[in-house]
Every structure is written in C-alpha cells, then in structure tokens.
Amino acid sequence: MSSSTVIVLDFETSGHSPGLGDRPIEVGAVRLEGNRIMDHFQELMNPGFPIGWFIESLTGISNQQIAQAPPCEEVMTRFADWIGDTPLIAHNAAFDRRFLDAELALIGRSRDNPMACTVLMARRILPEAPNHKLATLVHYCGIPTSGIFHRALADAEMTGRLWMTMTELLRERYKLDAIPFALMQHLSRISRTRVEHYLEKYCRQRQDHLNRAG
DNA sequence: TGCCAGGCCCTCTTTAGGGCCTT
C-alpha cells in the first residue's frame, strides 16, 4: 500500500447525535491510492431500533432493509479491520468521527487514524463556491456523479473525487509534485486567512529541500 | 415537515451569537 493511500468514508445514520442514542444504518468507503479509487466498502447495518420516516425518506433505506441487515457490531468489526490505520477523510468529518468512535468503543476498539475534512478544506481552497454542501461542491467542480445522494458509498465516492480535485487544484496552483495528507490536514487546522501564506512558505521550503538534494 | 448535537468559523467578537454542515 502506498504512503498516499487514504480512505474516504461516509455514514448514513438514524440522526445527528450518538450521544442521544443515534447509530449508523449504513457505512460506505473508498480507498484512494494517488488519484485512483482502488477499493470500496459498503454495508447496511441494523442499529437495533427502527428509524424515523425522515431518514427513510432522505436515504431511501427502509426499516425492512435494516431489519434484514447484520447488527452494527458485526459490520463495524469488519469495517475496522478494513480501514486498519489508513488516514481517513470525510465530508464534515466531525460528524462521521463521532459515529465511528462511538461504534468502535462499543466493540472494544479505538481509532488512531488521522482524519481530514473536505468541508474545512473546501472552505479554504474553494471559498468562492456558492456553499460547501457536498452536492453543491460536486456540481461546482464538475465532478461526474451517479445521481445518487445520501447513500453511503455514493457520497463517499463523491467526497473522494472532491478530495482528489482539491489536491490536484493545489498541486497545479502551487506547482508541487504532490500534496501529502498531512499538508491538507494542517491546512484545515489553520485560519483561512493564513492558508495562502502557509502554502507559499511550504513551497519555498520544498524547493530549498529539492535544491539541496539535487 | 426537521427544530434534536457538536464543531467550525465569521463578525456588528473574545464577558457572544448565529450560520453552516452532517443524518
């Protein structure tokens, strides 16, 4: 597996808050290596209670489908094995991180994977976009879609393509040979007003390093 | 038909309030 490998994940859930008892009903994820999707993961799961009409309507996932799905614990065990310690990405990662960590705790596991957020990145790299919802950004960037939204694998794949689009934009804008995950993660942590200055400094240091190596 | 939560981020800010984003 290459050092540029990342996993982009998305949960469909019964609501907004694991703290109020909400749980995942589907997880979808794609494994990116460089600028290619190399693998994927998608499973429905049974949270142990019926979901509300709004979630059924939003996702198209029915209570009948959920009732036939394996329990969250079983799916999350497979998912934890699948992601390993690969760096993770999600759209509004704070949301998916809460559910991931809550479900991992329930199966006696924990997460060390670093995690980056495409909402935070898009606010910095695409500040001129009409808004930073996933569907808007995908349309704004001209990313082709299946037309499916609010299903875990489809949203994870769109988020992955958005991530690749933004890294490619930065790579071309700053004439870099690569955009490491750690750089994107750092950019999402600093103030928006400092992003351009930081990238210019990063480019100068990178060029100095190459000059010394050459 | 989302109003539930939580983190980020802006501003008419920092002794705060409110919009955005996720389901």
Q: Where are the domains of chain A?
A: 5-213
Beta bridge partners of A39: A31
Using C1' positions and the CA of A95, the closest nucleotide is B22
Helix or strand holding residue A88 (H, E): strand A88-90
Residue A1 confidence (pLDDT): 62
Label residue A2 by pLDDT band (50, 70, 90).
low
Query: Is A5-213 assigned to CATH 3.30.420.10?
Result: yes
Q: What is the mean pLDDT of residues A204-209?
A: 86
Q: Contact A181/A173 with Cβ under 8 angstroms?
A: no
Label residue A208 by pLDDT band (50, 70, 90).
confident
Inter-axis angle of helices A72-83 and A93-106, to 10 degrees?
110
What whole-number distance in Å separates Cα of residue A122 and Cα of residue A143? 14
Q: What is the mean pLDDT of residues A157-172?
A: 95
**A72 CA to B23 C1', in Å?**
16
**A183 CA to B15 C1', in Å?**
36
What whole-number distance in Å separates Cα of residue A170 and Cα of residue A166? 6
Per-chain mean pLDDT for chain A: 94
List all nucleotides in chain B with at least one atom under 7 A from a protein Cβ.
1-2, 4-10, 20-23
Using C1' positions and the CA of A94, the closest nucleotide is B7
Q: What is the mean pLDDT of residues A41-59?
A: 96
Footprint of strand B on the protein (CB under 7 A): A 10-13, 15-17, 19-20, 52-55, 58-59, 91-92, 94-95, 98, 119-120, 123-124, 131-135, 150, 155, 188, 191-193
Residue A207 confidence (pLDDT): 85
pTM above 0.95, yes or no: no
Q: What percent of chain A has pLDDT over 70?
A: 99
pLDDT in tens, A64-95: 999 999 999 999 999 999 999 999 999 999 99
